[in-house]
Amino acid sequence: SSSSSSSFVFLLLSSYQAGVFFLEGIGGEVEPSRAFAAFERGAQEGHTDCEYSLAVCYGKGLGVTPDQSKACVFFERAAQKGHPPAQYNMAQCYFTARGVERDAEKAMLHLQQAADKSFPPALYSLALCHRE
């Protein structure tokens, strides 16, 4: 059965890799709830990519009921560890008051941190901010 073989594969992978496999359906069906569970396990262990991926799951409702506040909690955790996509997403949360109160100062700080790591969307957004 495909369930037992995917469980075996899961044991050989990190929580992050397993989550990606389940989310993208690599080697089987797309299983967002199993991806969410794998990312959650990794996030509990402090794995930065899992924290970021868990935030994306919460933000998009992948394997879980959408919850922007919880998405921001995990974007913030990964952002504090220097994860550029998380820093960029946290900036967007602060700019648009998505899951947090609007705070342009915190938004710019996160945006600058992501741009300092040459994260292309952050560089582009920062350039637009300075044009205005």
pLDDT by residue for the chain (132 residues), tens only, comes to 444 445 544 455 688 998 998 999 988 899 999 999 999 999 998 999 999 999 999 999 999 999 999 999 999 999 999 999 999 999 999 999 999 999 999 999 999 999 999 999 999 998 888 776
Around Cβ 73, how many Cβ atoms within 10 Å? 17
The count of C-alpha atoms lying within 13 angstroms of the C-alpha of 37, restricted to the half-sphere facing its C-beta, is 7
- pTM for this predicted structure: 0.85
The rounded Cα 128 to chain-centroid distance in angstroms is 24
Rg of the chain in Å (alpha carbons):
16
Residue 127: what pLDDT? Answer: 87
Local structure of 117: helix, strand or coil: coil
4's CB contacts (< 8 A; 6+ apart) are none
